[in-house]
């Protein structure tokens, strides 16, 4: 029988002891690594089926805690994915573009070749920033005026869901009569990304309808541009040909509305269910910004993002296969007790959340930020402030804060309606975790 002699041990690139085997070809490593990964940890505390259960959709945090504390790199064989749940691990993979690929929404939809995503073009970034900054407050005032005098308002549907899409219509300068139809189509397009074939078909139809709608508008604005995003896109000069309606629609698809929608809904859910926090914000208005950040940490609406390993790479003591699907859980990372003190508490005045726009690995001033995936990575455009458009992170923050501030100014009292039992919920797997019903009574100032 062969025995392992000391001289047979060599050390591999990653410091792991290797028993030298001579004369035999590949294959051995496959099995060993696979087994170490499979068997090295007990997974008694969680079964993959739980991760698609209704309980988990309702409240993901208990299972995420189990993953984060016990199986920080978890092989979910059911979903054929790997879950990463600790803050430092999530942030490190999130920014690691060379090793981990982000796939576009169009890939998930199965329409990889549809249009070009123009979100990174400088003029687009400027136009979006101008649009959002210009229109956020007037739109919020308009919405708030509609709520005045009503018996009650559902802040989730009337405010949080409407504000982002209405804002988008202003940024695009959609003609007033077309706005409602645009919002319906946009919503249908975004919903179609998730697996249900009926919803997917409806989404594809919406994409077709939007493309047809924008074709004439794009041409009009090409020759007579305004300040809006459609005009900007129409007049972009790109190397590989003039912009088309498909490019515009692709860009809209890839854009994120969920963080603003879900963030606003979750923010108001948390404030109304923690009245002492709402009082604090009312008395110290600067804390509204902090409340937004704390919401994105405590109850982030977009729970996770997916990445695909570009190569086989060893991390977390395991070998990740090429092409592996990795789930980066923002929700788990945001409650990591290694980073945040009393992470399960919603506290707008906490001192351990970054209050400035995060850079790089999501830290500025040495503080961690709540991770919210929809807001992208720090811009790659020039670092000099005048040449750099405001980031989506800042734009979203300001839009949310502005709109919420208008609500606080317009209504000196905002309370949950008496029989309301609001809750956060993801309606289907991978969909955002937010409040879909938030009945409130608003008393005008």
Partner 1 sequence: MAAAEDALRNAIDPREFDAPEFQRDPFPLYKKLRDHHPLYHDRFHNRWVISRYWDVDGAFQDNGSFDRAVYRPDGEYAFGSEHVFGPNILEYGNSDQHRWLRNMVAGQFVGNRLTGFLPIVNQIATELLDKIREQGEVELISQFTSQFPIRVISNMLGLPREDEDIFVGWYQALIAGLGFGGEHLMRGVAARNEMWDYLDPLMKERERNPGDDLLSRLVAAELDGERMSPEEIKGFVALLLAAGGDTTDKAIANMWFHMLYTRPDQLDDVKADPELWSNVFTEMMRYDPVVHAQFRHTTREVKLHDRIIPERAGIILYLGAGNRDERAFKNPDTFDIHRDDLHMGRENRSGRYKDGKPGHLGFGIGQHFCMGYAMARQEAVIACSQLAARLKNIRPKFADHEGISSPSIDSGGFRSPNELWLEFDA
Is residue 112 within the footprint of partner 1 (CB under 8 A)? Answer: no
Please identify, among the stretches 158-166, 276-284, 312-320, 360-368, the one whose residues bind partner 1 according to the rule CB under 8 A.
312-320
Is residue 31 within the footprint of partner 1 (CB under 8 A)? Answer: yes
User: Are 227 and 139 spatial neighbours (Cβ–Cβ below 8 Å)?
Assistant: no
Is residue 427 within the footprint of partner 1 (CB under 8 A)? Answer: no
Q: What string marks each residue from 339 to 358 as x (binds partner 1 by CB under 8 A) or -?
A: --------------------
Task: Count CB neighbours of 216 within 10 A.
Answer: 10
User: Are 299 and 339 spatial neighbours (Cβ–Cβ below 8 Å)?
Assistant: no
Q: Which of 6, 40, 98, 366 binds partner 1 (CB under 8 A)?
A: 40
Distance separating alpha carbons of residues 315 and 102, to the nearest angstrom: 18
- Greatest pairwise CA separation for the chain in angstroms: 88
Is residue 33 within the footprint of partner 1 (CB under 8 A)? Answer: yes
Distance separating alpha carbons of residues 119 and 107, to the nearest angstrom: 16
Taking alpha carbons only, the member of 325, 413, 331 closest to residue 108 is 325
Please identify, among the stretches 5-13, 138-146, 256-264, 284-292, the one whose residues bind partner 1 according to the rule CB under 8 A.
5-13
Is residue 99 within the footprint of partner 1 (CB under 8 A)? Answer: no
E strands in 105-169: 153-154
DSSP 31-86: HHHHHHHHHSS--TT--GGGGGSHHHHH--HHHHHHHHHH-SEEEETTTTEEEE-S
Residues binding partner 1: number (CB under 8 A)? 63
Please identify, among the stretches 74-82, 126-134, 155-163, 279-287, the one whose residues bind partner 1 according to the rule CB under 8 A.
74-82
Is residue 47 within the footprint of partner 1 (CB under 8 A)? Answer: yes
Is residue 53 within the footprint of partner 1 (CB under 8 A)? Answer: no
Q: Please, which residues bridge with residue 315 across strands?
A: 318
Q: What three-state secondary structure class fits 433? A: strand
How near is the Cβ of 312 to partner 1 at its closest, in Å? 6
CA torsion angle 435 437 438 439 (round to 10): 180
How near is the Cβ of 107 to partner 1 at its closest, in Å? 7
Nearer to partner 1, 49 or 384 (CB): 49
3-state helix, strand, coil in the chain (%, to 5): 50, 15, 40
Task: Count CB neighbours of 58 within 10 A.
Answer: 13
How near is the Cβ of 208 to partner 1 at its closest, in Å? 11
How near is the Cβ of 439 to partner 1 at its closest, in Å? 31
How near is the Cβ of 6 to partner 1 at its closest, in Å? 11
How near is the Cβ of 115 to partner 1 at its closest, in Å? 19
How near is the Cβ of 206 to partner 1 at its closest, in Å? 14
Is residue 321 within the footprint of partner 1 (CB under 8 A)? Answer: yes
Q: Which of 17, 148, 342, 383 binds partner 1 (CB under 8 A)?
A: 17
Q: Which of 58, 78, 96, 349 binds partner 1 (CB under 8 A)?
A: 78
Residue 322: DSSP 8-state: T
Residues 6+ apart with CB under 8 A from 25: none
How near is the Cβ of 64 to partner 1 at its closest, in Å? 18
Is residue 107 within the footprint of partner 1 (CB under 8 A)? Answer: yes
Residue 444: DSSP 8-state: E
Taking alpha carbons only, the member of 87, 96, 101, 99 closest to residue 371 is 87
Nearer to partner 1, 17 or 238 (CB): 17
Residues in contact with partner 1 by the rule CB under 8 A? 1-2, 4, 9, 12-14, 16-21, 23-36, 38-44, 47-49, 52, 75, 77-81, 107-108, 110, 195-198, 200-201, 308, 312, 314, 319, 321-325, 429
């Amino acid at each position: 029988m062969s025995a392992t002699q000391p001289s047979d041990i060599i050390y591999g690139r990653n410091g792991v002891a290797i028993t030298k085997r001579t004369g035999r070809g590949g294959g051995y490593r496959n099995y060993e690594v696979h087994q170490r990964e499979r068997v090295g940890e007990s997974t008694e505390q969680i079964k993959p089926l739980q991760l698609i259960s209704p309980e988990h959709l309702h409240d993901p945090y208990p299972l995420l805690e189990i993953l984060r504390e016990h199986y920080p790199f978890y092989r979910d064989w059911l979903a054929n994915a790997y879950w990463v749940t600790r803050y430092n691990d999530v942030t490190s993979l999130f920014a690691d573009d060379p090793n981990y690929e982000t796939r576009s929404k169009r890939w998930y939809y199965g329409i990889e070749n549809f249009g070009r995503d123009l979100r990174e073009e400088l003029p687009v970034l400027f136009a979006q920033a101008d649009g959002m900054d210009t229109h956020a407050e007037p739109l919020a005032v308009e919405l708030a005026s509609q709520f005045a005098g009503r018996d009650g308002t559902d802040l989730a549907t009337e405010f949080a869901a409407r504000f982002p899409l209405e804002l988008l219509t202003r940024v695009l300068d959609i003609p007033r009569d077309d706005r409602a139809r645009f919002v319906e189509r946009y919503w249908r397009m975004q919903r179609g990304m998730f697996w249900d074939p009926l919803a997917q078909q409806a989404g594809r139809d919406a994409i077709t309808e939007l493309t047809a709608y924008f074709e004439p508008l794009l041409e009009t604005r090409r020759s007579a541009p305004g300040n809006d995003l459609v005009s900007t896109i129409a007049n972009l000069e790109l190397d590989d040909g003039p912009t088309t309606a498909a490019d515009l629609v692709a860009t809209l698809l890839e854009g994120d509305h969920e963080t603003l929608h879900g963030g606003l809904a979750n923010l108001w859910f948390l404030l109304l269910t923690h009245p002492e926090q709402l009082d604090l914000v009312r008395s110290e208005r600067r804390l509204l910004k902090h409340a937004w950040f704390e919401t994105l940490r405590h109850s982030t609406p977009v729970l996770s993002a997916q990445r695909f390993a570009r190569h086989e790479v060893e991390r977390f003591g395991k070998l990740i296969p090429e092409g592996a699907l990795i789930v980066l859980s923002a929700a788990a990372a945001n409650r990591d007790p290694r980073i945040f003190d009393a992470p399960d508490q919603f506290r707008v005045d906490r001192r351990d959340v970054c209050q400035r726009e995060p850079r790089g690995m999501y830290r500025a001033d040495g503080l961690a930020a709540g991770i919210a995936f929809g807001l992208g990575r720090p811009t790659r455009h020039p670092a000099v402030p005048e040449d750099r458009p405001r980031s989506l992170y800042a734009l979203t923050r300001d839009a949310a804060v502005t709109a919420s501030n208008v609500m606080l100014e317009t209504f000196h009292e905002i309370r949950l309606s008496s029989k309301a039992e609001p809750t956060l919920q993801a309606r289907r797997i991978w969909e955002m975790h937010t409040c879909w019903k938030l009945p409130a009574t608003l008393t005008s100032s």
